[in-house]
Chain A
Amino acid sequence: MSTPPTPLGGVQNEEADLRDLGRALAEAEQAPVLDARVTTSDLSLDEILLLHSVGLEPAEVVFGVGCVSILTGVWTWAVGAVDDARVAFHAALNLAKENIRSQVHRTGALGVVGVEVEVDMRPHACTVVITGTAVRAMSDEASHSHFRVKYHNAFLCDLSARDFVVLGNAGWYPLDLVAGASFVHAPRRSLGTAVGQATQNIELTNFTETLYAAREQAMGELQSRISQAGGTGLLDAKIVDRPMRFASHVVEFVVYGTAVRMLTAEHTHPQVSMVVPLDDAVRTFEATSLD
């Protein structure tokens, strides 16, 4: 484990790193393209075949990084929500999304599948890194016949390529990666209250209400972002709900997922059949049993 960065030095260094990265990317952009059909991807062979079935192919592994500083002192135990942290989280996510979209734009891809999101919240900075595989149409003809959706902006989707294809076949398309977040201080009980409640079964209503309100705020935020992205729903929501690592009195609630929309006239039900696999569990030799 590297030591956490010092309050300002660390952030400055990361910013310098980002600047270098930006320069390197700009240079790469101007370099002559040797073969436009060369691809890199972190997808499995099965997933690539599935993408081919809808006229798409992987273009390039792309990523976006966003790092935003947080003021000193926001984590001190107080009342209510840590709004600075929430704002920093969204700013970092938006930067990362902008970043990745500009790479997608450069490769001429339609969007990114299998996006992985890493959030690193530290006392003085929030870093969001998103990586995924940009996909493009195999040929103009293929994109017209199979993939009729016209995206104005590159889509981002944290569903796997398999899920992306299955969903697309049912008539639903991913639009954008959206998130809602809240960081909230747990309320304090006075000593008198704590002693009075020591032997009782009782709901701590002020705690319940605080956490409830925080979650609802994050969910509300998520919903308005889905609408902004033009989506009508969100699938496979990932929920992070835990006390902060470095400030256990602050409860972190982050929810993110892919905003989707049905772009065909009606939902197409996939063919479903029940199967019973006849495979045996894979048997392996243990080296220790061979002596």
Chain B
Amino acid sequence: MSNVPSDLPKDAGARLAELEHGLFTSDLSVNEFLLVKQVGFHPLGLVMGSSIYHIGLQKRSWGSSQELTTLTSAMYNARELAMNRMEEEADQLGADGVVGVRLDVNFYEWGHDSAEFIAVGTAVKSEDGQSYRNSLGKPFTSDLSGQDFWTLAQTGYMPQALVMGTCVYHIAHRGIGQAIGQIGQNGELSNFTQAMYDARELAMKRMQDEANNLGASGVVGMRLEEKSHQWGEHTIEFLSIGTAVAPRRGFDGTPPPRPTTIISFDN
């Protein structure tokens, strides 16, 4: 991103400096903390990035399905800004990566057409001194929980980055004639189907491109979210998001532990 300002506020500097002296903060649960330690990482601090972004306007045509590129690029830019600031904080702490990343969008009453994009996670550093940064030399990011992170590490993979693709799509309304003609019939609404397909494919392709650029071997824990935010029901954001992974350097090939099957007494 060319327009990312290196503008962490002064307070951030002071807070991060304190963290460099061995104090850590984290929103990992006790189980997650112990599992992250077991993989060989120690938490450094809660890192966050945020951006309040004004989302522009774009004319939608009532009867045609199309991508709303202005809105798509707003959602992209704002998320990138938040993620980049979080990575910057992690970088300043000398972290190898960030686990348990949550990416949220908040709409406030006072901010008309604007939203806050926020990324929060726990920066971690390896205890063996080896660097686990991704192929771009940045700390890895991942929205996997501590449990998933441990399991992934057992299979010989490490997270590279949280990758995402988004597409804001306007889905055409049906014409009145068409709607009347379809009353009382079983029939596929093929223009709706086609629009949903197109939008999802665009979002997923963009996510895959991000993963390819990192040289990742796959994306795990992928989710596809559909939200209308504040745009009315015919304008939908398709967001696909997941953790790109690559084989762990120096992995000795030990197969992952065989799971034990249990019948628990819980109800």
Give the docked Cα–Cα distance between A70 and B19 (Å): 33
Known: A204-B54, A223-B19. A277 touches B263 (CB 8 A): yes
In the complex, the answer to whether B111 meets A272 with C-beta atoms within 8 Å is no
Known: A204-B52, A272-B38. A226 touches B28 (CB 8 A): no
Residue B93 at the A interface, CB < 8 A?
no
In the complex, the answer to whether A201 meets B56 with C-beta atoms within 8 Å is yes
In the complex, the answer to whether B26 meets A237 with C-beta atoms within 8 Å is yes
Interface residues on A, range: 35 or more
Known: A198-B57, A227-B23. A203 touches B78 (CB 8 A): yes
In the complex, the answer to whether B48 meets A269 with C-beta atoms within 8 Å is no
Residue B116 at the A interface, CB < 8 A?
yes
In the complex, the answer to whether A235 meets B26 with C-beta atoms within 8 Å is yes
List the B side residues contacting A211 at CB < 8 Å: 50, 52, 116
Shortest Cβ distance from B100 into chain A, in angstroms?
Answer: 11
Residue of B nearest to A216 (CB): B11
Known: A203-B51, A219-B46. A275 touches B116 (CB 8 A): no
Give the docked Cα–Cα distance between A267 and B43 (Å): 13
Write out, one digit per residue, whether chain B residues 1-20 have a CB within 8 A of any chain A CB (1) or not (0). Answer: 00000011101101100110
Residue A186 at the B interface, CB < 8 A?
yes
In the complex, the answer to whether A200 meets B259 with C-beta atoms within 8 Å is no
In the complex, the answer to whether B35 meets A236 with C-beta atoms within 8 Å is no
In the complex, the answer to whether B26 meets A233 with C-beta atoms within 8 Å is yes
In the complex, the answer to whether A267 meets B263 with C-beta atoms within 8 Å is no
Shortest Cβ distance from B72 into chain A, in angstroms?
Answer: 10
Interface residues on B, range: 35 or more
List the B side residues contacting A243 at CB < 8 Å: 108-110
Write out, one digit per residue, whether chain A residues 230-243 have a CB within 8 A of any chain B CB (1) or not (0). Answer: 01111111110111
List the A side residues contacting B116 at CB < 8 Å: 207, 211
Which residue in B31, B52, B264 is a CB contact (below 8 Å) of A279?
Answer: B264
List the A side residues contacting B111 at CB < 8 Å: 186, 204, 207
Give the docked Cα–Cα distance between A121 and B102 (Å): 26
In the complex, the answer to whether A201 meets B46 with C-beta atoms within 8 Å is no
Residue B257 at the A interface, CB < 8 A?
yes
Give the docked Cα–Cα distance between A159 and B106 (Å): 28
Give the docked Cα–Cα distance between A194 and B114 (Å): 11
Residue A10 at the B interface, CB < 8 A?
no
Give the docked Cα–Cα distance between A248 and B114 (Å): 15
In the complex, the answer to whether B263 meets A235 with C-beta atoms within 8 Å is no
Residue of B nearest to A222 (CB): B25
Residue B179 at the A interface, CB < 8 A?
no
Shortest Cβ distance from B241 into chain A, in angstroms?
Answer: 20
Residue A199 at the B interface, CB < 8 A?
yes
Which residue in B7, B25, B150, B264 is a CB contact (below 8 Å) of A277?
Answer: B264
List the B side residues contacting A223 at CB < 8 Å: 15, 18-19, 23, 25
Give the docked Cα–Cα distance between A207 and B114 (Å): 10
In the complex, the answer to whether A233 meets B24 with C-beta atoms within 8 Å is yes
List the B side residues contacting A267 at CB < 8 Å: 37
12 pairs, A vs B, C-beta closer than 8 Å? A202-B54, A204-B53, A207-B52, A211-B116, A216-B9, A216-B15, A219-B25, A232-B22, A239-B27, A239-B120, A249-B109, A267-B37
User: Given A186-B110, A236-B28, list of 4 further CB < 8 A pairs?
Assistant: A207-B111, A211-B50, A235-B30, A272-B35
